[in-house]
Homo-oligomer: A and B are copies of this chain.
Amino acid sequence: MKLDDMILVSVDDHIVEPPSVFENHIPKRWADRAPRFVYDAKRRAQTWTWEGGAAATPFICAVVTLPNEEWGYDPSTLAEMRPGCYDSAARVRDMDANGIVASMCFPSFAGMSGSFFAHCQDRDLAYACLRAYNDWHIDEWAGSHPGRFIPLPLCALWSPQLSAQEVRRVARKGATAIAFSQAPETFGHPSIHSGAWDPFFAACQEEDVTIAIHIASSNMVVTGDSRETPIEVASTLPCWNSLTCAAHLLWCKSLVKYPHVKIALSEGGTSWIPGFLDRMERQFHLQRWMKSDLGGLRPTEKFRRHFLACFICDPSGLLLRDRIGIDNIAYEVDYPHSD
C-alpha cells in the first residue's frame, strides 16, 4: 500500500526487544551491570538477565504468521520469530502490508509498565537502565521511521517522583505517551489512591502526555485458585482488568485534581463499557448519600473526558459505540501477539 492510502493507526502492538537495546544508550558507569540478552540452554530460550532478575518472552507473545499448532507458553528465541517482532524496518514492512500508518508499541521483557526495572534493588542502576531503554525506544525504534511509530517510554514504577521526572524528560524528546500500571500497589508500590502519584499525574497533565495502561500491567490475579484453574480461564479474562482499573481511576481523587489527564485503556476492549457507564450512573444516583465528588461531572462525562477505549475485535462493544462515545474508541492490531 502507498502511505497516503493508509488510515489505520494501531495504538497497541508489541516489540520483542532486540539484543542492542542498551548498547548505545547506557552510560559507561553502568554498562557492565545493564541487562544482558543471553541464551539459556536449559530452557532453550533467550533471556534478559541482570541483578534485578531475568525475563524471557513467552512464545505466545510472538506468534504472528506462525501456524496455530506451534503456539504455546514456552519461552522463545528471536530466530523462531518473524523479524517484524524485533526489527523496526521489518515491522514497518509488515505495517505497510497490513495498512497500518502508525503503531504504538508496548514492551515485552520489560513488562507492560516497566516492572522489570522496578525489581532491581539498586535504584540508581534501575533508573539508568530505564532511561537507556526509553532512549532506545524513542531514538532507535520509533526514530528509525519518523511518523510510523508513536513512541511509548516506560514509567519508573517504583517512584512517582522519578516517573514525573521521566515524563518531563521524554516529553522534551517528543514523546506523547507513557506506559503505566493498572495497579502499582500489586507490585508493592503506592496505590493511585494514596496521593503519592500526584506528581506523575501533574507532569502528564502539564506535558500533555497520555498514560497508556495495558492489560497485564499489574500483579493482580483475577482468576482465583491458580493451581487447578484451566489455562483457558486466564486466557479469557484479562481484558476485564481494565474495567477494574477504570473504576479505580474514575473514583480516584487525583483525577478530580488533574482533570486533563488522558488515559488509554490498552487492550481493555470496549464491550464492558456501556454497562460500566450504566452502573456508574446508577451508583452515582442511588448512592448519593456517599456524596461522591467527580469534580462536578457525571460519570459518563468524566469517562469521556479521560479515557480512550482500545479494542482488537469487539463486535458487541461496537454495536453500542454511541453509548461509549465514538471519539473515545481506538483500534489495536496487537502485533505480534496471538489476538
Taking beta carbons and an 8 Å cutoff, which residues of A are in contact with B?
68-72, 183, 185-186, 191, 193-194, 220, 222-225, 228-233, 235-237, 239-240, 243-244, 247-248, 251-253, 269-272, 274-280, 282-283, 286-290, 292, 313-317, 319-320, 323, 338-339
A278 cross-chain contacts in B, Cβ below 8 A: 271, 313-316
**A193 with B223: in contact, given A247-B237, A316-B278, A317-B275 (CB under 8 Å)?**
no
Contacts of A275 in B (CB 8 A): 269-272, 314, 316-317
Establish whether residues A248 and B224, one from each chain, have CB atoms under 8 Å apart when the complex forms.
yes
Cβ 8 A contact of A286, one of B223, B315, B317, B338: B338
Complex contacts, A69 vs chain B, CB 8 Å: 289
* A243 contact set on B, CB distance < 8 A: 237, 240
- Given contacts A223-B244, A278-B314, whether A193 and B230 have CB atoms under 8 Å apart is yes
Q: Check B225 against A191 for contact (C-beta < 8 Å).
A: yes
CA distance A232 to B293 in the complex (A): 10
- How far apart are A295's CB and chain B's nearest CB, in angstroms? 14
Q: How far is the CB of A262 from chain B (nearest CB, A)?
A: 21
Q: Is A193 within 8 A of B228, CB to CB?
A: yes
Contact A237 B232 (CB under 8 A): no
Q: Is the CB of A252 within 8 A of B272?
A: no
A85 to B140: give the CA distance in the assembly, Å: 67
Contacts A251-B230, A272-B272, A317-B275; A236 near B288 (Cβ below 8 A) = no
- Asked if B230 contacts A71 (CB within 8 A), the reply is no
Q: Which residues of B are found within 8 Å of A71, using beta-carbon distances? A: 287, 289
CB-nearest residue of chain B to A196: B228
Q: Is the CB of B233 within 8 A of A248?
A: yes
With A and B bound together, what is the CA distance between A282 and B251 in angstroms? Answer: 32
Report Cα–Cα, A17/B244, bound state, in Å: 33
Tell me, in angstroms, the Cα distance from A68 to B290 when the chains sit together: 10
Q: What's the least CB distance linking A258 to chain B, in Å?
A: 16
Alpha-carbon distance between A240 and B253 when the two chains are bound, in angstroms: 23
User: Among B222, B271, B272, B320, which residue has its beta carbon within 8 angstroms of that of A319?
Assistant: B320
Q: Which residues of B contact A314 (CB under 8 A)?
A: 275, 278
Contact in complex: B68, A236 (CB < 8 Å): no
Roughly how many angstroms separate A288 CA and B67 CA in the complex, as a whole number? 11
Q: Are A282 and B191 in contact (CB under 8 A)?
A: no
Q: Which of these, B220, B269, B290, contacts A224 with CB under 8 Å?
A: B220
Among B70, B222, B289, the residue within 8 A (CB) of A244 is B222
Is A279's CB under 8 angstroms from B239's CB? yes
Which residue of B is nearest A323, CB measured?
A: B316
Set B225, B232, B248, B317: member contacting A292, Cβ < 8 A:
B232
